[in-house]
Every structure is written in structure tokens, then in C-alpha cells.
Amino acid sequence: EVQLVESGGGLVQPGRSLKLSCAASGFTFSNYYMAWVRQAPTKGLEWVASITNSGGSTYYRDSVKGRFTISRDNAKSTLYLQMDSLRSEDTATYYCTRAPWGLFDYWGQGVMVTVSS
């Protein structure tokens, strides 16, 4: 059974940093692209970043480019999202997703990130 378990969320002040982790199990992690998708409170879904299976290439939405870094450790079957210079508009539930061919076929339960002073 595919499982994705996020951790690392919480309350953080504007301008500070936070690092999310996603522990994957139930599939061969190193074979799949992975991604982060977020959802602001009462809003829709928004793709944040993707990473190839080797980690050699990464892709970001414009609003997080230069502030967020997606990475992975295939030996640990873990996906990361380093979030720097956080803004209030980054407040959202962040979902770790398995992302073959640009779709999102499995989702974690999500982790809440609140950016507020």
C-alpha cells in the first residue's frame, strides 16, 4: 500500500524558514517523480514544485521560485520542501504527492503551514 506521511509543519513568522518532510513507503520511491501541492484555507489546489526521480531536475511555480527548494533522498525514501522567506500567502496545507507523468496519483494527508506574526 502506497503511503505518504508529511511532517514539519507549524506556525512560523513572516520571513522565517521551515522544512517539510515526506516519508514514502509501499512503492519504489526512486522510480517516481514527486511533487508538493498546497491548498490555502477554503481555497483550491495549487501545484508548488516537482522533482524528477533522480533529483536531477526540479520545477517550481513562479511565486515560490528562489524561495522554496524541493529535494529528495532516495536512500531514505523521503521528499523534502525547504521553504525560506515565508510570506502570509504561503499559509496552506501542503500535500506530498507521487507525480508520474504530471498527474498526482497518491497524496499524503497533508501538513499545515501557518505564516503569521
β 10-12/45-51 pair status: unpaired
- Burial class of 117 by CB neighbour count within 10 A (0 to 12, 13 to 18, 19+): exposed
Residues in CB range of 75: below 8 A, 6 or more apart = none
Q: Which is nearer to another protein, 15 or 100 (CB)?
A: 100
Residue whose CB is less far from another protein, 55 or 110: 110
Contact positions with another protein (CB under 8 A) in 40-99: 44-47, 50, 59, 61, 95
Binding window for another protein (CB under 8 A); candidates: 8-16, 20-28, 38-46, 78-86: 38-46
With respect to another protein, which residue has the nearer C-beta, 77 or 107? Answer: 107
Q: What are phi and psi of 63, to 5 degrees?
A: -70, -15
User: Which parts of this chain interact with another protein (CB under 8 A)?
Assistant: 35, 44-47, 50, 59, 61, 95, 101-110
